[in-house]
Amino acid sequence: MYFVALVAPDEINQKILKWKLWMKEKFGCEVALRSPAHITLLPPFWMKPELENEFIDSINSFSDKQQGFDIQLRNFNSFKPKVIFVDIVKDVTLDNIHKNLQYHLLSTEKFPVKKDERPFHPHITIATRDLYKRAFYEAMDYFKTKEYEASWRTEGISLLRHNKKNWDVIFTSQFKNI
């Protein structure tokens, strides 16, 4: 299994990791700990390993035409009653990267990716599927009292592969002007 994302730099990942670990300690949530802090551009999909290099080449050809841009993180939000996340400030450049990458990969008809029919709502997950409804409201009450702002300049698009336990970043492209 694979997915495509913008992976946060280590400084932001470490901060978000503290909140993920707090969710594990307080509510037993572990799913979000399986991947680094990231913004999903293409949700998980199955792909034969033989296609991996060609997929990477396709991400590279897309990235060669992109410029780095800033991602702004601000406070917390949720998809009730299962997901708590760091919110991303709405940005047309991020929306376009998502839309154009999807189009680029779908247009080749070589890869087993599907158009995501859900509206694009970029975020960085702190807790997800293993967060129970009763704990969700308690956890959200906690995060509503917190303020968080950070930003980073994107450098490229990452491909992550599942290793049967966690998600590993196996490749990160480089935008032409980071």
Q: What is the CATH number of the domain that holds 25?
A: 3.90.1140.10
pLDDT, tens digit only, all 178 positions of the chain = 999 999 999 999 999 999 999 999 999 999 999 999 999 999 999 999 999 999 999 999 999 999 999 999 999 999 999 999 999 999 999 999 999 999 999 998 899 888 888 899 999 999 999 999 889 999 999 999 999 999 999 999 999 999 999 999 999 999 986 5
Phi-psi region of 22 (alpha: psi -120 to 50; beta: other; left: phi over 0): alpha
Count of structural domains, the chain: 1
CA dist., res. 141 & res. 143, Å (int):
6
In a domain, 177, yes or no: no
In a domain, 148, yes or no: yes
The position carrying tokens 């990942």 is 13
In a domain, 31, yes or no: yes
Structural domain that includes position 114: 2-172
- 87's CB contacts (< 8 A; 6+ apart) are 73, 74, 75, 76, 77, 123
In a domain, 100, yes or no: yes
The position carrying tokens 């799913």 is 31
Nearest to 33 by CA among 150, 137, 178, 131: 131
In a domain, 155, yes or no: yes
In a domain, 178, yes or no: no
